Amino acid sequence: MTTLLTGGVKSGKSSRALALAGDFPPGERFFLATATAFDDEMAERIRRHREERAGSFITIEEPIAIDSALRPSMIVDCIPMWLNNLFFQDREREWESILERFMAALPRDIVIVSNETGMGVIPADPMTRRYGLTLGLINARLAAAVDRVELLVAGLPLRIK
């Protein structure tokens, strides 16, 4: 089943993704990690996430070309970090073409993790507003393309679709 998990920061999305991956068919399971260690805190966060899934998944680290990194039985974590990478590598214009190819190639069993960033304050600067708007568009397109959508709130999944 194709699934999109969304919600706020630290709402339990990654843990829920790992739990849903338990329903993948027997065989190899893949984890597409989009994060890059741009500071010490992020490096530590990446290390902790690697430990959580150690031995259970084959990890593919791909910050940009998520469309070409897809495999069967996969978790993609996370779309906001992928978009962040595009913005900060001055490749913002590529998001639509990469996303189109990504959605066209979705495997039957995939859990995609995203964030709801537009539920809080309006950002003060143009780039952050553009980022939030773009992520909202991406989430809407992904939600339309998948079988199931869950919103995570305080660690609890709420089925949307």
Which H or E element spans position 33? strand 30-33
Cβ burial of 78 (10 Å; 0-12, 13-18, 19+) is buried
Q: What is the CA radius of gyration of the chain?
A: 15
Residue positions annotated with a catalytic role:
49
Distances (CA, A) of 133 to 116, 118, 142, 154: 11, 8, 14, 24
Ranges of H-type helices in the chain: 13-21, 40-53, 79-88, 95-104, 126-145
CA nearest 30: which of 8, 62, 6?
62
